[in-house]
Amino acid sequence: EAQVTQNPRYLITVTGKKLTVTCSQNMNHEYMSWYRQDPGLGLRQIYYSMNVEVTDKGDVPEGYKVSRKEKRNFPLILESPSPNQTSLYFCASSPSGTGGEQYFGPGTRLTVT
Amino acid sequence: SQKIEQNSEALNIQEGKTATLTCNYTNYSPAYLQWYRQDPGRGPVFLLLIRENEKEKRKERLKVTFDTTLKQSLFHITASQPADSATYLCARSLTGTASKLTFGTGTRLQVTL
């Protein structure tokens, strides 16, 4: 089944403890992206990647890192999480980086205390 | 700065009627406008994409229009059903930055019997 998977689905952590949220897609898509979704603010893009080893900032990149060493994986790294990073995170992939439709994962709900 | 706005936070309609959702944007004309459906606790699902040189797109009971003069896209669901109840998101990418997708905050549609 073609899909985007994220792990973990739920995570509660403490301020400052480094964490990684994994994202993997099995559709051989070139483009991948991370978003966070907050009430009243909608979905906001954190980082995106046009291809392996090519990443760029979205609208809210502060406090996050990403890497794209393989085409299928695009992990999101929070080096020192803070409470304002408590949010619902979505990974997405697309066959095209030129504005085409995106396929979203199921989401990761992160709470930082 | 670029903005994309979905003016109605919620829309309630009766089964069988046509639901019309609005998406407005400021400043530059988007290269693409996309519409997604999101159910509670799940990732958005792609529905339709319309390019800046297109006026209208259709898919089954769904129709999207794009008016660059009004800086507006309309999303229609004809013969609406209770199963259409969900939050609908519009998203835009600009020419030259097509991989940066900006989402509106969504309109929650409720279709009642």
Residue B105 to residue A104, Cβ atoms within 8 A: no
Q: Which residues of B touch A44 (CB under 8 A)?
A: 103
Q: What is the pLDDT of residues A64-80, one digit of tens each?
A: 999 999 999 999 999 99
Residue B86 has pLDDT above 90, yes or no: yes
Cβ-based contacts of B31 with chain A (< 8 Å): 99
B23-52: pLDDT as tens digits: 998 877 777 899 999 999 899 999 999 988
Residues A91, A74 contacting (CB under 8 angstroms)? yes
- Per residue, the 3-state secondary structure of B11-68, as one string, reads EEEECCCCEEEEEEECCCCEEEEEEEEECCCCCCEEEEEEECCCCEEEECCEEEEEEC
Does residue B8 contact residue B105 with C-beta atoms inside 8 Å? no
